[in-house]
A and B are shown apart, each in its own frame.
Chain A
Amino acid sequence: MTAGGILLEVAAQAGYHGIMTRSSGPQIRGGEAAAMLRISTFPVESHADVFDILVGVDWLNAERFRAEIPLGPDSLVVGDLDGRPPAEYLATGARLLALPLSRLAREREGGRENMVALGAISALAALPRGLFEGVLNALLGRKGSEAVVSGMACIEAGAQCVAGESGTFALAPPAPTRGAIWNISGNEAAGLGAIRGGVRFVAAYPITPATELLEWMAPALEQVGGVLVQAEDELASVNQLIGASFGGTPSLTATSGPGLALMTESIGLAVASETPVVVVDVMRGGPSTGIPTKSEQGDLNIALYGLHGDAPHLVLAPLSVADCLFTTQWAVHLAEKLQTAAIVLSDQSLGQTRALIERPAEVAFVSGRSIQRTPVAGYQRYALGGDGVSPMALPGTPGCQYTADGLEHAPSGTPSSRAEDHRRQLDKRRDKLTGHDYGDHWALIEGDGDVVVLTWGSSLAPVREARRSLAGRGIDVRIVAPRLLMPVQPARMREALSGASRVLVVEQSHGAQFLHYLQAFYPRERGYESLAQPGPLPIRPEQVVERFNPRGSR
């Protein structure tokens, strides 16, 4: 992971685009891990169909990543030969290149295999070696100058060792000018979006793969006078948010599937009591403990339908690493404005991927909660009428005392089990969401071809890659990827799909949850085609290309 991070930063400074995703074994801390990088002359968000170079720093258990690391006959497998690269990789027809990592590292004081590997990659990809020292200084400098010196010696040795193959995978020169570039993960981007949206209180319980979001936010919140509390469990987390939000502070938590499951009862309380909260679910393989370290889009159903009773709430999904910032910020804004709960569905693949992105433009979405600031005779917290959003009095405001309640209530907040009060409050909580104008942000729409791919979340990246590839073959694909999953936007979706001859639904879910959601809320006379596969394998661009341009027809 360290070497991968250095490589990504060097690529960034050289002017390239890139991403680094990570995968690790079930033990989370320690054990086998794979850093997967793509470096490119144009912006990229997903991996290509095959990797060019596989470097084995340690081959122990490396075969476990075989399915996640596709290789082809043009690929190169690099590493210690006596450590036995797994046969599974060589069966792809990939070429083998010996690199005596251990020996080269051992021969240098403080030498490490991963730095030797880094040197080999830098030579194969013809990355400017001059950039490494500065990056090593920045990233390893706190370990002392010896780490930098020995790191550089190892990089040099690795590069020399593969000199015969230098430039085999040389990148074209990068595009000359770019704006400011950020090296950021989806989890960090979501954290920044939260703070930009006005979040100043976070309560959370550690869980993979959401923990880094929280670890980024803890010091960042301090910088803006906010607080992160590590709570005793997810039940406490979400209820602390409700308390803080009742007091007027925009509040957010981050979790993964198991934590979201624990929170659902109280997310319903936030809906019923009209207390804004935001829950970011960085999805991982499920059900149950599932695959904590790897990605899957399997929490769509619980996010959409997991609350008991009729509990209209917001469900949003970021569409890229960079979009984790925008969508989280927008979610905070909407939750605050509409006084409800918002669930943001990120996933391991977005959250733990580092990407080189252009600095995102700042957007004006900040918490805009409707507040009753002055005393008013006969204040009714849950008053009916208007757009359904009733001004909220914060504790401290004289003359507006009320009790927020998860029991069904009259407009005053007084508990009521009368049929008419229930009906009116249900209507109110629904109408304030359905009546809101979400604007063009509801979805990303690209192209206007009459074949359409409908997808969401992290599956968008390979779909975009496939679209580029198909365009090169004269096939124009339209992409529709909703960022707002609930409330549904039937009129907008109708327009987005108008004139479509085929609609392929692409998702990373064994049960085709997204397909079933579309069939329920956006029924289409001609139906949908489905490309649904479980995690942790990402959708590969070629799988999408294949649907529109089968191999035989090329």
Chain B
Amino acid sequence: MEQLSTRQAALKPKDYKSDNKPVWCPGCGDFSVLSAFTKAMSAMTLDPERVAVISGIGCSSRIPAYLNVYGFHAVHGRALPVAIGLKITRPDLTVLVAGGDGDGFSIGGNHFLQACRRNVDITYVVMDNQVYGMTKGQASPTTAPDWMRSKLTPHGTRINPFYPLVIALASGANFIARASSNDPNGTARVIAEAVEHPGFSFVQVLSPCVTFRPEQRDWKKIVRPAPVAPTADPAVAARRLMTDDNFFIGTLFKGGRAPFESGFAPRAEVAGELERSFGLTA
């Protein structure tokens, strides 16, 4: 596809916003992530029409409609396959996937593992608030086992939480970072870095749900930059991720795997080319 526009000047973050008003509760961490998306796009001087943001279902998955880029708000848990199909056939686009912890790690959990393995050059941003907000406060895969505030699991889930960064590393993600919605500028920098890194990039953003997890307002007191530089060594990254307390932020792993290459370059069928195998052998 040919370049359709050449811009005179870089666009400002607000130029990447659409006119749609977010459905989020006041104080939701996702406002800040939306703002980080637009800052990152502006910093990278992306043409809005050459960006696609794909999502599934959940509060955070509403983000595409709030952006002035191409978007796809798909079904619950399937954002990654939609994005992978798009990126394989449209390598010219910058493809991001946005969603929450329930969408990405529960109903879409296997796609997360396989997307890490496949290493298609897309960026996956998960706004993790350890709760299903859209359905009013149920436990998600990242919820602590003893969280008893959900009517669905009044005694807590009593099952082990999911550690997305560790799983991402073990499954082959090529870039792993954690960010905090309390720091939109830092989040924007990490998203831009993730987009620019080849292969499958995974960014977990700690994004509080002030309605169903009001105690998460205190996250801003706990999060702090990881006191280490990003590593390209999976063994070092594994040690780091297995021992951190899930509140260190920053880029933690930048791998060197080559991204998935499909060789997609469609052309018209040459008449008769494919028919040969059906002709008789004589």
- In angstroms, Cα B173 to Cα A225, docked, is 27
Q: Is A340 an interface residue (CB 8 A)?
A: no
Which residues in chain A, 195-244, are within 8 Å of chain B measured between CB atoms? 195-196, 200-201, 203, 220, 222-227, 229, 231-233, 235-237, 239-244
* B 71-85 binary contact with A (CB < 8 Å = 1; else 0): 111110110111111
Given A223-B274, A225-B267, A243–B281 Cβ distance below 8 Å? Answer: no
* A256 contacts the other chain (CB 8 A): no
Taking a contact as CB atoms under 8 Å apart, the answer to whether A227 and B81 are in contact is no
Contact across chains for B267 and A182 when beta carbons are under 8 A apart? no
**Interface membership of A20, Cβ < 8 A:** no
Chain B residues whose C-beta falls within 8 Å of the C-beta of A83 in the assembled complex: none
Flag B2-41 by CB within 8 Å of A: 1 or 0 each: 0011000000000000101000000000000000000000
Instruction: Considering the complex, give the chain A residue whose CB is closest to the CB of B94.
Output: A395
Stretch at the interface among B42-50, B214-222, B224-232: B42-50
Min CB–CB distance B10 → chain A (angstroms):
16
Is B266 within 8 A of A225, CB to CB? yes
Complex Cα spacing A367 to B51, Å: 25
CB-CB contacts of A252-283 with B at 8 A, as 1s and 0s? 00000000000001101100010000000000
Interface centre among A138, A241, A248, A406 (most CB of B within 10 A): A406
Q: Does A183 contact B (CB under 8 A)?
A: yes
B114 contacts A9, C-beta separation under 8 Å: no
A224 to B271, CA, bound (A): 11
> Across the interface, which residues of A come within 8 angstroms of B244, CB to CB?
none
Determine, out of A23-31, A149-157, A396-404, A420-428, the stretch whose residues face the partner at the interface. Answer: A396-404
Q: Would you call A195 and B110 a contact (CB within 8 A)?
A: no
Which residues of B approach A to under 8 Å, CB–CB? 1, 4-5, 18, 20, 47-52, 54, 62, 64-65, 67-75, 77-78, 80-90, 92-93, 110-111, 113-114, 262-271, 273-275, 277-282
Given A248-B90, A396-B93, is A235 in contact with B81 using a C-beta cutoff of 8 Å? yes
What separation, in Å, do the CA atoms of A368 and B89 have in the docked complex? 18
B266, A246: Cβ atoms closer than 8 Å: no
Residues of A close to B89: CB separation below 8 A: 200-201, 227, 243-244, 247-249, 251
Q: Is the CB of B50 within 8 A of A203?
A: no
Chain B proximity of A26: nearest CB distance (Å): 27
Partner of A397, one of B4, B78, B81, B92: B4
* A407 beta carbon closer than 8 Å to chain B: yes
Complex formed: what's the CA distance from A232 to B111 in Å? 7
Provide the bound-state CA to CA distance between A226 and B262, in Å: 9
Q: B266 touching A247 by the CB < 8 A rule? A: no
Chain A residues whose CB sits within 8 angstroms of the CB of B90 once the complex forms: 244, 247-249, 395-396
* A-B residue pairs, 10 tightest by C-beta: A243-B85, A240-B85, A403-B71, A138-B281, A239-B81, A243-B86, A243-B82, A182-B278, A247-B90, A200-B266
Q: How far is the CA of A233 from the CA of B78 in the complex (A)?
A: 11
The answer to whether B1 and A246 touch across the interface, beta carbons within 8 angstroms, is no
Interface check A13, CB cutoff 8 A: yes
Complex partner residue of A398 from B47, B87, B88, CB under 8 angstroms: B47
Other than A13-B282, A236-B78, A248-B90, give 15 A-B pairs with Cβ distance below 8 A: A12-B280, A243-B82, A247-B89, A249-B89, A249-B90, A265-B75, A359-B275, A359-B278, A395-B49, A396-B4, A398-B47, A399-B49, A401-B49, A413-B65, A414-B65
Which of the residues A182, A242, A400 comes within 8 Å of B85, measured between beta carbons? A242
**What string of 1s and 0s marks CB contacts (under 8 Å) between A128-165 and chain B?**
00010011001100000000000000000000000000
Chain A residues with CB under 8 A of B62 = 415
Determine if A181 is an interface residue (Cβ-Cβ < 8 Å): yes
Q: Is A184 an interface residue (CB 8 A)?
A: yes
Tell me whether A405 is interfacial, beta carbon within 8 Å.
yes
Are B85 and A406 within 8 A (Cβ)?
no
Find the B residue at minimum CB distance from A232: B114
The CA-CA distance from A13 to B282 in the complex, in Å, is: 7
CB of A180 closer than 8 Å to a CB of B: yes
Contact partners of A201 in chain B: CB under 8 A: 85, 88-89, 264
A-B contact pairs, 10 of them (CB 8 A): A195-B269, A226-B264, A237-B81, A244-B89, A244-B90, A266-B74, A273-B72, A396-B50, A401-B48, A405-B65
Contact assessment for B278 and A184 in the assembled complex, using a CB-CB cutoff below 8 Å: yes
Q: Is A247 within 8 A of B280, CB to CB?
A: no
Interface residues of A (CB under 8 A from B): 9, 12-13, 131, 134-135, 138-139, 180-184, 188, 192, 195-196, 200-201, 203, 220, 222-227, 229, 231-233, 235-237, 239-249, 251, 265-266, 268-269, 273, 359, 362, 394-407, 413-415
A223 CA / B271 CA spacing, docked (Å): 12
CB distance from B108 to the nearest CB of A (A): 9
CA distance A403 to B72 in the complex (A): 5
CA of A151 to CA of B115, assembled, Å: 48
CB distance from B2 to the nearest CB of A (A): 9
Q: Which chain A residue lies CB-closest to B5? A: A398
Q: Are B281 and A242 in contact (CB under 8 A)?
A: no
Q: Of A192, A231, A247, which is in contact with the most chain B CB atoms at under 10 Å from its CB? A: A247
Note all chain A residues with C-beta closer than 8 A to B111: 232, 235-236
A232 adjacent to B265 (CB under 8 Å): no
Neighbouring A residues of B64 by C-beta, 8 Å: 403
The contact of B88 among A229, A233, A239, A242, by CB within 8 Å, is A229
Q: Who on chain A is nearest to B71 by CB?
A: A403
Least CB separation from B84: chain A residue: A240
Does A396 lie within 8 Å of B1, measured CB to CB? yes
Decide if A246 touches B72 in the complex (CB within 8 Å): yes
What's the minimum C-beta distance from A444 to chain B, rounded to whole angstroms? 23
Chain A residues lying within 8 Å of B81, measured Cβ to Cβ, are 203, 231, 235-237, 239-240, 243
Q: Are A188 and B74 in contact (CB under 8 A)?
A: no
User: Which residues does chain B contribute within 8 Å of A397, judged by CB atoms?
Assistant: 4, 49
Are B82 and A403 neighbours in the complex by a CB distance under 8 Å? no
Chain B residues near A245: list those with CB within 8 A. 85
* Closest partner residue, chain B, to A366 (CB atom): B268
Assess whether A400 is in contact with B49, with CB atoms less than 8 Å apart.
Answer: yes
Q: How far is the CB of A216 from chain B (nearest CB, A)?
A: 8
Interface centre among B69, B78, B82, B278 (most CB of A within 10 A): B82
With A224-B266, A239-B81, A251-B85 as known contacts, state yes or no: A401 contacts B282, CB within 8 Å.
no
Report chain A residues within 8 Å CB of B267. Answer: 224-225
